[in-house]
């Protein structure tokens, strides 16, 4: 039975792809059988004028059935395409959520790894600032270093608290920027 079904699969796929062909086979097979029966009655002298209408009245319904069949298959294919598109969209959304979750975990890990040495740097800078109050050039350099370290800490905090990350253009190329939830 499986071999027989396997044999019919290409035929089934063909008719699903081209439903008008299937409709044509059905209609013309019916037309052929009806015509042969009509000619047999004509030969046997059982012909009446009403026989033509009686014999071929179902042909119109067959054509309508064929049109409906084609439309149903087209509608089913559209629904299949829409479902595939919805599933692909859901898969892409799940992938983005996974990527975002991974990015958050990585940023939190980096924040922890960077904050420990950064705290030590900031403590030593504060101590050096107190010692360098009499030297304006050293004070200015230490202040720049302190501002840079604070900027690093602020950036890490923003990225770890962000609800998402977006890519923005900058003078040096594309850069990641945290997106905060306004709600």
Task: Return the pLDDT at 86.
Answer: 92
H or E stretch at 37: helix 19-43
Task: Return the pLDDT at 81.
Answer: 93
How far is it, in rounded angstroms, from Cα 146 to Cα 126?
Answer: 8
Task: Return the pLDDT at 183.
Answer: 46
Task: Return the pLDDT at 109.
Answer: 83
pLDDT digits (tens, 9 = 90+) for 93-117: 888 888 877 877 887 788 888 888 8
Q: Which of 16-30, 36-50, 81-95, 135-149 has the lowest mean pLDDT?
A: 36-50
How far is it, in rounded angstroms, from Cα 117 to Cα 107?
Answer: 16
Closest CA to 99 of 9, 176, 1: 176
Residue 164: CB partners within 8 Å, gap ≥ 6? Answer: 100, 178, 179
* Mean pLDDT value across the chain: 79
More confident residue, 183 or 53: 53
pLDDT digits (tens, 9 = 90+) for 26-78: 778 888 888 887 777 777 776 666 566 666 667 777 777 778 877 888 888 89
Average pLDDT over residues 149-159: 82
Average pLDDT over residues 69-95: 88
Q: Which of 27-41, 82-96, 124-138 has the highest mean pLDDT?
A: 82-96
How far is it, in rounded angstroms, from Cα 97 to Cα 91?
Answer: 10
- Using alpha carbons, list the distances in angstroms from residue 25 to 6, 10, 31, 56: 22, 17, 10, 16
Query: Over 60: is that where the pLDDT of 91 sits?
Result: yes
């Amino acid at each position: 039975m499986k071999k027989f079904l396997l044999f019919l699969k290409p035929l089934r796929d063909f008719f699903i792809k081209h439903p008008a062909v299937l409709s044509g086979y059905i209609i013309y097979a019916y037309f052929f059988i009806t015509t042969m029966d009509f000619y047999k009655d004509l030969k046997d002298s059982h012909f009446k004028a009403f026989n033509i209408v009686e014999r071929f009245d179902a042909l119109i319904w067959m054509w309508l059935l064929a049109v409906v069949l084609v439309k149903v298959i087209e509608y089913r294919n559209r629904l299949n395409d829409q479902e595939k598109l919805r599933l692909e969209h859901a898969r892409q959304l799940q992938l983005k959520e996974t990527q975002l979750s991974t990015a958050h975990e990585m940023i939190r890990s980096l924040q922890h790894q960077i904050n420990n040495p950064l705290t030590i740097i900031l403590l030593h800078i504060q101590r050096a600032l107190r010692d360098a109050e009499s030297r304006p050039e050293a004070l200015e350099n230490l202040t720049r270093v302190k501002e840079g370290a604070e900027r690093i800490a602020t950036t890490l905090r923003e990225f770890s608290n962000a609800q998402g990350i977006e890519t923005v253009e900058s003078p040096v190329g594309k850069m990641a920027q945290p997106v905060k939830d306004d709600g």
